[in-house]
Amino acid sequence: MTQSISPYWRALVPALVFTGALAAVFAFYGFDVFERSRGLTDWVMIAPLSLIGIFALALSAFQEIRAAKQACSQPQTSPDADAKPQPTAPSHEPYMKPLAFMAGLGVYVATLPWLGFDLGTILFVCASLLLQGERRWWVHLGVGVGASLLLCFLFRSILLVRMPTLFM
Amino acid sequence: MLDYSALSDALSLLSRDVSAWLVVPPGILIGLLFGAVPGLSISIAMAVFLPATLYMDFLPAILFLTAIFTGGGFGGAVPAILMNIPGTSGAVATTFDGYPMAQSGRHGQALGLGLAGSVIGTIIGYLILLFLVNSVAGWVLKLGPAEMLVVAIWGMTLIAALNTASFTKGVAAGVLGLLVATIGYSDTGQMRGTFGSMYLLDGVPTIPALIGLFAASELFSLVGRDFIIREERLRVIHLSAILDGMRQCARNPWQVIRGGLIGACVGVIPGVGASVANLASYAVAKRASSSPQTFGHGAPEGLIASEAANSSSEGGGMVTLLALGIPGGAGTAILLGAFAMHNVTGGPRFIAENTDVVYALILGNIAQAVLLGVMGIGFVFFAGRIVKVPLSMLTPLVMSVSMMGAYALTGNMVGPITVAGAGVLGWLMRRFGFPVAATVVGLMIGSMAEGELVRTIQISGGELSYFAGRPIAIVLTCLLLASLLPRFLAPLFRKKTTQVASKKIS
């Protein structure tokens, strides 16, 4: 019984954390705008929307918890009684590689002012290729270096976008 | 309505001036390319190539720029269908059904449907412009804050119509977009949500946020996968599939005409262009469909509605430009720049004194749409091969292009930072079942909605009786309520039908 409950609640916790964080943002923003307002027109749309958003999120959280409780209380009817029950709330798609990609993107964006779009893009693309299992050196050379430089050339020299670069 | 002698002059002008036609194919190709690359926009393309029109005559210059506009109107559909990444804000609704079709191996058919929808939609938009350019101008001038507020509220109801997940999550997602759109300086000079950063004084940049919410979050989800289409045998693009899609579009004339009409009407309203037109048309098509549950899972009607509307809105937007000299959006603002470069000012006098030139522009654009159909077939045939490219290469390259494009849009690091932040937010939203499309709708109409609400309150002094003197606002409100009624009455009818059926059985 403990084994069948925990996947549902384990999946539910991140969803509730996200919902709670959104509600907190709505509350903070709505309150901040209302407090600084000098008249009706400053908050007439924002404050009511914040309240609507918080209410919708609270209701959504309640529905998620109720769905999880219902899923836990239903008897196991599948022929394979040892099969793990699937979580209900969030997607159970893999998330480690996307998280690593996002981290790499964060580093890429943070270092752009110093590395420039040319070197920064080369490093980002090569790192992404490695993350996704690409080990062929000629792919890293062609795609990682070649395509990145081509894109930088296109934006900087053809489209005349004044983006920071290190050596182009 | 039509000045036939000016029409005849326009035809002879177009047949005499060969240079007017030489610039159209390159313009369409440029538009297709810029529209197809997430991060590059049609307005960037038009801005980049605007100086090139300096030494052209007025007619070829405008036809070249509008060719870019026309090409870009469809170009955005290509990544929307193949990668779930709208190349332009006008292709957001195209992703809803185009991408599911691509995932099931029907990408050729989807591209054909989108192309035909775009071509016919553009023709409808310009035909409406041809017949109504004079009379619509007067109506556009009567649109005040009250009318625009009703349009904004109608836009907000799209959030509910597009919601395929839980209602509460859809509302929360829409509210998120609306609130983010209010960040920055308000119309009354209040700073909101800027945290002291001067980069946020103008608010969160909309297009980079859209790129982040849609493109970046989708790319995050694709990391670790091999190809866009899982089955290898489906990773081919056949010309016959593209043509089949175009034929299927032609077999649904009412869908295309309705999308075209909605797009043209929405495009006429200044500040509301293809980005809202495609969503509005999609929502209407879904409500009117006999099988709305298929929408979002590869329904061709949804794709046709979106593409017909985003392309016909171009013609609608030209109404305010030609008749009033007012740009309706970024693209028409650049066209206005081209007007100024050639010492031309749009407006009633321009139309009255140069009716043949106006008609030549309109007929030239209709011909552009036909040419788009021909060039577009070749373009999508080659672009469709992107499904063969491994995602390990595609994902980081598309992400890099999006970053560079976002930088190009804002001119500083705010663009890339917005893309990255919105991308993480969009990924989390998808993961926890919140509809990203609702946030995008809120983002696009939020600032307009607040601005019109504030102006309406200021003009009316808070008195509801103000609306009694605004017949257009009353008519728009009635239309809005009429469009929403079926959604609320349908469950009642269903319940009654079920009760009657149960009684008959018993």
Mean pLDDT of the B107-131 span: 91
**pLDDT tens profile B459-474:** 888 777 777 778 888 8
ipTM of the complex: 0.87
In whole angstroms, what is the distance from residue A90 CA to residue A103 CA? 21
How many beta carbons lie within 10 A of that of residue B29, not counting itself? 17
Q: Output the CA–CA distances (angstroms, integers) from residue B58 to A155, B63, B338, B345, B357, in the order listed.
A: 28, 9, 8, 12, 9
- Chain A residues whose beta carbon lies within 8 Å of the beta carbon of residue B407: 117, 161, 163
**pLDDT tens profile A94-127:** 788 899 999 999 999 999 999 999 999 999 999 9
**Residue B1: predicted pLDDT:** 65
Q: Is B190 on the interface with A (CB under 8 A)?
A: yes
Nearest to B175 among A56, A91, A143 (CB): A56
* 3-state class (DSSP) for residue B327: coil
* 3-state class (DSSP) for residue B184: strand
Neighbouring-strand partners of residue A27: none
The rounded mean pLDDT for chain B is: 84
Neighbouring-strand partners of residue B408: none
Q: Output the CA–CA distances (angstroms, integers) from residue B143 to A132, B128, B147, B320, in the order listed.
A: 53, 19, 6, 12
Q: In chain B, whose CA is at the least distance from the CA of A44? A: B454
Mean pLDDT of the B15-34 span: 87
Q: For Cα atoms B226, B228, B229, give the angle at the middle one, nearest 5 degrees.
A: 95
**pLDDT tens profile B229-267:** 777 777 778 889 899 999 999 888 999 999 999 898 888
- Given a contact cutoff of 8 angstroms between Cβ atoms, the answer to whether B158 and B484 are in contact is no
In whole angstroms, what is the distance from residue A116 CA to residue A137 CA? 23
Distance of alpha carbon A49 from the chain centroid: 24
Q: In chain A, whose CA is at the least distance from the CA of B407? A: A163
What global pTM score does this model have?
0.81
Query: Does residue A59 surpass a pLDDT of 90?
Result: yes
Q: State the alpha helices, DSSP H only, in B411-470.
A: 414-431, 436-460
**pLDDT tens profile A9-48:** 777 888 999 999 999 999 999 999 998 888 888 888 899 9
Query: Does residue B159 surpass a pLDDT of 80?
Result: no
Confidence class of residue A84 from pLDDT cuts 50, 70 and 90?
very low
**Residue B163: predicted pLDDT:** 63
Look at the block and give the residue holding tokens 């779009």.
A117
**pLDDT tens profile B193-229:** 887 778 888 888 888 888 888 888 888 988 888 887 7
**Residue B501: predicted pLDDT:** 58
Query: Does residue B111 surpass a pLDDT of 60?
Result: yes
Q: State the alpha helices, DSSP H only, in B84-144.
A: 92-103, 107-141
**Residue A28: predicted pLDDT:** 94
Mean pLDDT of the A147-158 span: 87
Q: In chain B, whose CA is at the least distance from the CA of A140? A: B393
Mean pLDDT of the B304-329 span: 83
Q: Which residues of A53-86 are buried (b: 16+ CB within 10 A; e: fewer)?
A: bbbbbebbbeebeeebeebbeeeeeeeeeeeebe
Q: Output the CA–CA distances (angstroms, integers) from residue B473 to A99, A138, B340, B451, B480, in the order listed.
A: 48, 63, 34, 16, 10
Confidence class of residue A83 from pLDDT cuts 50, 70 and 90?
very low
User: What is the token pair recorded at B433?
Assistant: 């079942």
Contact A45 B432 (CB under 8 A): no
Chain B: closest CA distance from residue A161 (Å) = 6
Query: Does residue A76 surpass a pLDDT of 60?
Result: no
Q: Is B423 on the interface with A (CB under 8 A)?
A: yes
Q: Is B182 on the interface with A (CB under 8 A)?
A: yes
In whole angstroms, what is the distance from residue B42 CA to residue B44 CA? 5
B contact residues 19-58, partner A, Cβ 8 Å cutoff: 44, 48
Query: Does residue B106 surpass a pLDDT of 50?
Result: yes
Q: Is B232 on the interface with A (CB under 8 A)?
A: no
Q: In chain B, whose CA is at the least distance from the CA of A111? A: B413
* 3-state class (DSSP) for residue A162: coil
* DSSP assignments along B379-414, one per residue: HHHHHGGGGGS-HHHHHHHHHHHHHHHHHHHHSSTH
**Residue A58: predicted pLDDT:** 95
Contact B166 A151 (CB under 8 A): no
Which is more confident, B376 or A159? B376
**Residue B502: predicted pLDDT:** 59
Q: How many residues does chain A have?
A: 168
